Structure 1
């Protein structure tokens, strides 16, 4: 674990986004970093594709939740 220096403006935006996303500020920043890394590594994939693949790798069955 380490310290990452970011601008005050970016920190404020992360703080604001963390509320509606039900994440801590750190979790929101980590999420955005991970999505950014995945997007750079897979430029052919859309945001939706990236999320779908992450859910698949975690063995999340969204269809089961919908049909409860």
Structure 2
């Protein structure tokens, strides 16, 4: 684990988003970092497609939750 320096403005945006998403500040920052990395690695996929891909990777059943 390391320390990542970010601007005060970005920290405030993470803090506000973490409250909305019921995540800790660290969990929200980690989520945004992971999604940014996935978006760069998969530029043709939408946000929803990336989330679906990650849920399937973790063997989360999507039966009845999405239209195929």
* Shorter-chain TM-score above 0.5: yes
Higher helix fraction: Structure 1 or Structure 2? 1
Unpaired segments ≥5 residues, structure 2: none
Describe the SS at the equivalent of 2:63: helix
Deviation string, structure 1 residues 5-60 (Cα, Å, up to 9, x no partner): 00000000000000110100000000000000000000010001000000000111
Scaled by the length of structure 1, what TM-score is found?
Answer: 0.90
CA distance in 1, matches of 2:10, 2:60: 31
Cα RMSD for the two superposed structures: 1.6
Unaligned runs of 5+ in 1: none
Number of equivalences: 66
After TM superposition, which residue ranges in structure 1, 4 or more long, deviate above 6 angstroms? Answer: none
- C-alpha separation in 2, matches of 1:64 and 1:11: 37
User: TM-score normalized by structure 2?
Assistant: 0.90
| Superposition deviation, residue 64 in structure 1 | 5.8
Are residue 39 (structure 1) and residue 47 (structure 2) matched? no
Question: 2:63 maps to what in 1?
Answer: 63
